[in-house]
Structure 1
Amino acid sequence: MASPDLPSTNHVIKRALADSPLDRSVAKQFDAADALAEWRDRFVLRDPALIYLDGNSLGMTPVATVDAMRRVIEEQWAGDLITSWWENDWLDLPLTVGNELAPLLGAAEGTVAVHDSTTVGIFQLLNVALDLPATGAQPRPPVIAFAPNEFPTDRYAAEGVARLRNGAVRSGLADLDGVGVVIRSMVDYRSAEICDVAAETKRANDAGAITVWDLSHAVGVLDLNLPALGVDLAVGCTYKFLNGGPGAPGFTYVAPHLHDDVTQPIWGWFGQTDQFAMDNAFDPKPGIGRLLHGTPGILGLTAARCGIATTAEAGLSAIAAKAKVITQYGIAVADALSLTVASPRNAAVRGGHVAIRHPDAARIHRALETRGVIVDKRDPDILRLGMSPLTTRFVDVYDALLHLADLAGIPAESGTISS
């Protein structure tokens, strides 16, 4: 497992302020010291001049993924055809890939399934949670709570589940009295602020609620240990920091002590104990397998598997360490340019992107693209600079922020983009 030779987070700030954060040579020095720098060459780089800071929305393409997809299409699908379901392990692929992802969550084998979109996973786990017995074996109240600024699909799924179950939703997490289930993100998709998962899980449990955690902006960039955090149920995607490809299947995690109590709402033949006993009544698979339902998308699973393997090989502790340093460096440069930072300054509670607030964010976003700088925009006024540790260089962060400042009308008197 790689261990970055980068300076500590605090030292990045001190050095940037001492040597001037608007000196591009500082960024180049950090890149030279980065033990993860070589991993950038493991990704497809069609335009080396492109500054891509949107890996928190869609990660770049691993070279290994291109090769793997070609093998599955040309050799397995085209060559082995239907026999691939058993000859090439297609039948078990959702659980096989789940076991490969589990260590990145600090989770045990047999607790993770990779099988469908994040939204479907949220729908499943909200229903699972509502059907779990409450304190004293009483029915769990069909009330789902979420933060007012929660990611849209989480809110929408909660509202849909509540409608189907004649329940209700509560926008706000301060008062959890009478709430059955909480849905919330570990990392805020706008600001990158990390929630105190252990404390908030306990607070919900103490109030009689169970929490479904959305790890979409956390997995692949944070060093996670779900059992240590007390997480019972979690869901997330594989196409952001895990570089699984557009629309790659999401994952669901269920703590082992709940497996026998899980009743999920979508019954299908891949969740059946003997799926080829066509005349049998539905009998759910044991363990995490009971979260499966329809026929899985093998191409999407193949791409997700490559992204997961790439992250695992690079080493999650090294990735998480670089994320702290490179985002801290980005904040130092943004401060020197008098840009408004909307992300936490404490690296311990910050994910893998830095949010810059500007009232003219939409125009700047479009103009950055014409300059070959890809960032993300979130209305009304947030520009998100995703700093995926395996593909983002310090010079990318430096150059992007100088372009941004220039478009915002802020002169960088001592800064230069050219090397």
Structure 2
Amino acid sequence: MTSRSTAQDLDRDDPLAHWRDEFVLPDPDLIYLDGNSLGRTPKRTVEAIRHVIEQEWADDLITSWWENGWLDMPLTVGDTLAPLLGARPGEVAVHDSTTVCLFQLVNVAIDLSGGSVVAVEATEFPTDRYVIEGISRIRPGISVRHGLDDLTGVDVVVRSHVDYRTAAVALLAEETARAAAAGAITVWDLSHAAGVVELDLDGAGVQLAAGCTYKFLNGGPGSPAFTYVRSSIVETVEQPIWGWFGQRDQFAMDNPFDARDGVGRMLNGTPGILGLTGARCGIELSAEAGIGAIATKARALADFGIDLADEFGLECSTARPPVSSGGHISIIHPDATALQERLAERKIIVDKRDPDVLRFGLSPLTTRFVDVFEGVSALAGMLDA
């Protein structure tokens, strides 16, 4: 059987191990395996937000919109994020919730396609399904089709790159091309992929994508999501939520709406500067560590966790990488709710998805191999007791 010393050896040889020191870890005994839902707190975020509050807001006040770059933060943070997505400068904006970003992009895709049929899996993440269903209520003639196997007659496809239950990875380039061959535009949800999977949106031919920053990018609770619009189509995009930050000259108050150039046209209301500050810090940290190294460790953590599940006789629904992302492994048990609570009593935090899924999050910058060993072995011990 794999032992704790095996995990310790893997941690000793881990080239990313020192990045854990970049995070606030107030309880050394806590085993946190839920970074795929909410990433840990970077130390630099605490300092950066303190500076924004005490200096830029308290002292510089309104001048911070110009003097401290607040006006352009959704776009400058977007340019920092772009390389982690395989995107170009000027193609990413960090600005609102994932729900709002998806609402904008699905509407954009419908308009670009000139069609009326939107396809989504019945098991897709709830927000994605809710957004589509909501749009079908307010746009006459829009219909929703469940299932992606047959795209005949489909105009827009909405799907996650990484499945939130199993961590299975959809083939980005192949599936984008398959939809395009059927005459459909794909809107990709990258929420469970950004910051843990090596992405090449440009090379994959992706046109539209959105995702959150509070999971593997460690942006903080409710940190703003991002929108990606391919540069070759951005000037043809007309998004549905008009606000003064999306206006070409936002201080020409009496002018009719005129969308600004580039991905900035996706902006709407005044951005939350504290949330953007947290997002920027988490994104910068991941960029410094390197998405290649992060993705490599994620796959290794997943393989290790699956090995343990196999050895302990646990039912794991996550396939090995590269079929899965490495961002988490899912263990199936009918008493998942009670088991999650018992693990929490032992200071082992995992996620749960009804009715029977325990998700062990594997956030590479903060998760150690020994954490995975302790979490999986503790679960196995509870089942054997």
* Shorter-chain TM-score tier: over 0.9
C-alpha distance in structure 1 between counterparts of 2:285 and 2:320, whole Å: 29
Contact 1:187 1:351 in 2 (8 A): no
Amino acid across the alignment from 2:27: D
C-alpha distance in structure 1 between counterparts of 2:234 and 2:292, whole Å: 29
C-alpha distance in structure 1 between counterparts of 2:247 and 2:116, whole Å: 27
Contact 1:343 1:350 in 2 (8 A): no
Contact 2:318 2:324 in 1 (8 A): no
Residue of 125, 142, 146 corresponding to 1:151:
125
Displacement of 1:182 in angstroms is: 0.7
C-alpha distance in structure 2 between counterparts of 1:370 and 1:27, whole Å: 23
Matched, 1:105 2:85: yes
**Partner of 2:384: helix, strand, or coil?**
coil
Contact 1:142 1:165 in 2 (8 A): no
Displacement of 1:287 in angstroms is: 0.7
Matched, 1:375 2:355: no
C-alpha distance in structure 1 between counterparts of 2:377 and 2:39, whole Å: 23
- What do you get for the CA RMSD once the two structures are aligned? 0.9
Displacement of 1:197 in angstroms is: 1.3
C-alpha distance in structure 1 between counterparts of 2:380 and 2:323, whole Å: 27
Matched, 1:130 2:110: yes
Amino acid across the alignment from 1:180: D
Matched, 1:205 2:205: no
Matched, 1:250 2:230: no
Contact 2:326 2:362 in 1 (8 A): no
**Alignment match, 2:9:** 29
Matched, 1:366 2:341: yes
C-alpha distance in structure 2 between counterparts of 1:102 and 1:203, whole Å: 25
Amino acid across the alignment from 1:27: A
C-alpha distance in structure 1 between counterparts of 2:384 and 2:329, whole Å: 19
Residue of 63, 86, 94 corresponding to 2:66:
86
Structure 1: runs of 5 or more not aligned: 1-19, 135-139, 412-419
Displacement of 1:346 in angstroms is: 3.7
Amino acid across the alignment from 1:385: F
Matched, 1:53 2:18: no
Residue of 54, 75, 86 corresponding to 2:55:
75
Q: Deviations over 1:18-76 (max 9, x none)?
A: xx31x111000000000100111100001010000000000000000000000000000
**Alignment match, 1:15:** none
Displacement of 1:351 in angstroms is: 3.4
C-alpha distance in structure 1 between counterparts of 2:134 and 2:118, whole Å: 11
What fraction of aligned residue pairs are identical, expressed as a percent? Answer: 61
State which drifts further: 173-182 or 61-70: 173-182
Contact 1:194 1:351 in 2 (8 A): no
- Give me the TM-score of the superposition, normalised by structure 1: 0.91
> 1:382-393 maps to which residues of 2 (within 5 A)?
382-393=357-368
Matched, 1:315 2:301: no
Residue of 116, 128, 137 corresponding to 1:163:
137
Q: Deviations over 1:151-172 (max 9, x none)?
A: 0000000111111111111111
**Alignment match, 2:278:** 303
Contact 1:142 1:162 in 2 (8 A): no
**Alignment match, 2:266:** 291
C-alpha distance in structure 1 between counterparts of 2:152 and 2:291, whole Å: 37
Contact 2:193 2:325 in 1 (8 A): no
Amino acid across the alignment from 2:229: V
**Alignment match, 1:43:** 23
Residue of 269, 273, 286 corresponding to 2:244:
269
Q: Deviations over 1:84-139 (max 9, x none)?
A: 1101000000001000000001110000000000000000000111111x4xxxxx
**Partner of 1:128: helix, strand, or coil?**
helix
Q: Deviations over 1:316-346 (max 9, x none)?
A: 1000000011110011011110000110124
Contact 2:298 2:364 in 1 (8 A): yes
Amino acid across the alignment from 2:26: R
State which drifts further: 350-359 or 376-385: 350-359
C-alpha distance in structure 1 between counterparts of 2:110 and 2:80, whole Å: 28
C-alpha distance in structure 2 between counterparts of 1:118 and 1:348, whole Å: 25
Displacement of 1:347 in angstroms is: 3.2
Contact 1:143 1:162 in 2 (8 A): no
Contact 1:179 1:209 in 2 (8 A): yes
Displacement of 1:348 in angstroms is: 4.6
**Partner of 2:27: helix, strand, or coil?**
coil
C-alpha distance in structure 2 between counterparts of 1:51 and 1:171, whole Å: 38
Contact 1:56 1:353 in 2 (8 A): yes
C-alpha distance in structure 2 between counterparts of 1:349 and 1:365, whole Å: 23
Displacement of 1:392 in angstroms is: 0.3
Q: How many residues align?
A: 384
